[in-house]
Chain A
């Protein structure tokens, strides 16, 4: 028996992974991460280059955020929390798909899309509450550029959720890699949004 085993040809190399959609989504997520982190890097650059002034607490801070602008912290914190919940929902869709549970997968995807729409709505509300013009100053211009780009990415996430949901409604649950790719995309969206939230809304 052992002789037979030693004479046997070695097993072939492991097949290449076949989940194209997952790999492509990873690549898109990597590109999106570089896009947002590049923009946040430039945000840092301009914020650090702004002149220093004394804050109300007597500390020296960069005069970057105009004093008349108030960041609506409740709305922005809620957005960050909501995005994390979206990841849980997206992962729920993956879990349901693996159990071949079409109704739960559909519900999870619908909730994910709804959360995405809620986040977009919250971003618009933040714009309304801040009430600043795009041409009012450097901060305003860069604020709208970076948050607007995030908004565009969120729209693509909602579209992805809706398309995937229709696939689930139609019973196309056999290819679970689409669900995994969808979840991965929402992980990416959440990660870059949390980074943006911390830099733009918390650190200001």
Chain B
């Protein structure tokens, strides 16, 4: 009898336990779990955009033979653009912030954790709607009107979710700090997440407002905003530079945090470091004006100044912020008794790629360079998105022990990081050189360069990044289940 009972119990226990685990995760208010949900879901988006990058690269290798029809190509580009920002950069920034910031500011929990969880679900549902609608030819310039409505709805729901999670994060930093810990004393990563959260709260509602106009117009009359063809014109700024700079602020903050840890000293000129991270957020102004502030070298001195000042303000100040942070990080490394810590490698390389992308945006906005609408812009987005993914790998390896109590082997961290750098350069650099090629096409490549070679290299870059991504996911899962455990004080090694 007792055997039967124990068998029954044993038979039901795992199912019950598994169900309990699932229920625990989907209704959790634990900030570490919410953060991991964001990061985990964004990994699926990463695989998605890397796959799309491979598909487009292969399609471009041989422009005479089409694998996809023209509608599909348009939607693949929409998937790449939406996915890189909405699916990867935003959830990564929020996910790591939610998982780590409460711990860093000495709070037991996230303020309004259910609001953050609502934010995750809204973003997840929005993501599903976006992917589904794009697959059904409903993205920007899509031919299926109902699916275009669904796409707009998906982006809207997702944006509301991202804003909700950001409100939760910035409230945590402002109100849940340990007594005695002033705002300027919080760790650099928390500071950067705080700056990013404020930036998101101030810019994405503007995108939401435009979205409401465009969605109402598209659904009912298509009289004002150009129907499906107008979506990119009115909403595109939310998925391109300089708005993307705001989404990568936590990546810059991670470098600022890791450098003094590796150097084993307090950050020299910490105040300047805080300002440097803050400077990146000046991209807010470039975003909400919804105008590409192009530099035109012509006319009188007054005309040149009128063009140069807003150009510098909106495009160069954010780059200056990253340069300040990088130089101060190098200063710390040079001054301290530095030892190599593995997470610094992918983070440093990732920030380097982000800087290349940001610099590319600055060059693209110079009118005489004639880069607007070319594949140059596509390359800049890839640099920034893949750079952020490298930084995310650095964040996982650095914060991982604090999140799940096990280490990721240093060799894997450095190896995948270095390979990721190589992949990013391969996937992006050729299109910096193929600058006279119009963006958003696959069959009309007409630039003066080795077309097949460039497209093959880009495809290889995306394939390599896919391998890095799979390697990072596999390593993380292995570490989570059977990696080396850390000591009780998870920060002792840092």
Binding site for B on A (CB under 8 A): 12-13, 15-20, 23-24, 27-28, 30-32, 34-36, 38-39, 42, 46, 134-135, 137-138, 141-142, 144-146, 148-149
Contact residues in A for B122 (Cβ distance below 8 Å): none
B288 at the A interface (CB under 8 A):
yes
Q: Can you add 7 more A-B contacts, CB < 8 Å, to A13-B179, A17-B175?
A: A16-B174, A16-B181, A20-B171, A30-B201, A34-B201, A135-B220, A135-B223
In the complex, are the beta carbons of A38 and B205 less than 8 A apart? yes
In the complex, are the beta carbons of B180 and A12 less than 8 A apart? yes
In the complex, are the beta carbons of B216 and A13 less than 8 A apart? no
B182's partner among A13, A20, A23, A32 (CB-CB below 8 A) is A13
Give min CB distance, B415 to chain A, whole Å: 41
Give min CB distance, B307 to chain A, whole Å: 21
In the complex, are the beta carbons of B201 and A31 less than 8 A apart? yes
In the complex, are the beta carbons of A32 and B205 less than 8 A apart? yes
B111 at the A interface (CB under 8 A):
yes
Q: How far apart are the CA atoms of A171 and B210 in the complex, in Å?
A: 42
We find that the number of chain B residues with CB closer than 8 angstroms to chain A is 36
In the complex, are the beta carbons of A24 and B180 less than 8 A apart? no
In the complex, are the beta carbons of B216 and A28 less than 8 A apart? no
In the complex, are the beta carbons of A138 and B174 less than 8 A apart? no
Contact residues in B for A46 (Cβ distance below 8 Å): 224
In the complex, are the beta carbons of B210 and A42 less than 8 A apart? yes
B176 at the A interface (CB under 8 A):
yes
Interface residues of B in 174-188 (CB under 8 A from A): 174-182
In the complex, are the beta carbons of B171 and A135 less than 8 A apart? no
B433 at the A interface (CB under 8 A):
no
Give min CB distance, B221 to chain A, whole Å: 4
Render B107-129 as a binary contact track against A, CB cut-off 8 A, 1 for contact.
Answer: 00001100100000000000000
Q: Can you name the residue of chain A whose Cβ is closest to the Cβ of B214?
A: A145
Q: Can you name the residue of chain A whose Cβ is closest to the Cβ of B215?
A: A145
In the complex, are the beta carbons of A35 and B174 less than 8 A apart? no
Give min CB distance, A183 to chain B, whole Å: 18
Contact residues in B for A17 (Cβ distance below 8 Å): 174-175
In the complex, are the beta carbons of B217 and A141 less than 8 A apart? yes
Give min CB distance, B44 to chain A, whole Å: 27
In the complex, are the beta carbons of A42 and B209 less than 8 A apart? yes
Given A13-B182, A16-B181, A39-B213: A24 in contact with B206 (beta carbons within 8 A): no
In the complex, are the beta carbons of A144 and B223 less than 8 A apart? no
Contact residues in A for B175 (Cβ distance below 8 Å): 16-20, 23
Give min CB distance, A188 to chain B, whole Å: 12
In the complex, are the beta carbons of B210 and A141 less than 8 A apart? no
B202 at the A interface (CB under 8 A):
yes
Q: How far apart are the CA atoms of A15 and B182 in the complex, in Å?
A: 8
Top 8 nearest A-B pairs (CB, nearest first) are A38-B206, A135-B221, A35-B205, A38-B209, A39-B209, A34-B205, A16-B177, A145-B216
In the complex, are the beta carbons of B209 and A27 less than 8 A apart? no
B220's partner among A28, A141, A149 (CB-CB below 8 A) is A141
B209's partner among A12, A13, A30, A35 (CB-CB below 8 A) is A35
B437 at the A interface (CB under 8 A):
no
Q: How far apart are the CA atoms of A27 and B182 in the complex, in Å?
A: 20
Given A30-B202, A34-B205: A142 in contact with B213 (beta carbons within 8 A): yes
Contact residues in B for A135 (Cβ distance below 8 Å): 220-221, 223
Q: How far apart are the CA atoms of A15 and B177 in the complex, in Å?
A: 8
Q: How far apart are the CA atoms of A198 and B170 in the complex, in Å?
A: 32
In the complex, are the beta carbons of B174 and A38 less than 8 A apart? no
Contact residues in B for A12 (Cβ distance below 8 Å): 179-180
In the complex, are the beta carbons of B167 and A27 less than 8 A apart? yes
B206's partner among A27, A34, A145 (CB-CB below 8 A) is A34
B163 at the A interface (CB under 8 A):
yes
Give min CB distance, B206 to chain A, whole Å: 4
Q: Can you name the residue of chain A whose Cβ is closest to the Cβ of B207?
A: A38
In the complex, are the beta carbons of A27 and B177 less than 8 A apart? no
Give min CB distance, A25 to chain B, whole Å: 9
Give min CB distance, A143 to chain B, whole Å: 10
B369 at the A interface (CB under 8 A):
no
In the complex, are the beta carbons of A24 and B112 less than 8 A apart? yes
B180's partner among A13, A141, A142 (CB-CB below 8 A) is A13
Q: How far apart are the CA atoms of A39 and B225 in the complex, in Å?
A: 13
Contact residues in B for A13 (Cβ distance below 8 Å): 179-182
B223's partner among A18, A24, A138, A149 (CB-CB below 8 A) is A138
In the complex, are the beta carbons of A38 and B202 less than 8 A apart? no
B203 at the A interface (CB under 8 A):
yes
In the complex, are the beta carbons of B167 and A42 less than 8 A apart? no
Cβ contacts A to B, 12 pairs, < 8 Å: A18-B175, A23-B170, A24-B115, A24-B168, A27-B167, A28-B167, A30-B201, A34-B206, A39-B210, A141-B224, A148-B216, A149-B209
In the complex, are the beta carbons of A31 and B205 less than 8 A apart? yes
In the complex, are the beta carbons of B111 and A20 less than 8 A apart? yes
Q: How far apart are the CA atoms of A142 and B210 in the complex, in Å?
A: 11
B212 at the A interface (CB under 8 A):
yes
In the complex, are the beta carbons of A15 and B217 less than 8 A apart? no
Given A13-B182, A23-B171, A31-B201: A137 in contact with B176 (beta carbons within 8 A): no
Given A16-B179, A27-B201, A141-B217: A36 in contact with B224 (beta carbons within 8 A): no
Q: Can you name the residue of chain B whose Cβ is closest to the Cβ of A39?
A: B209
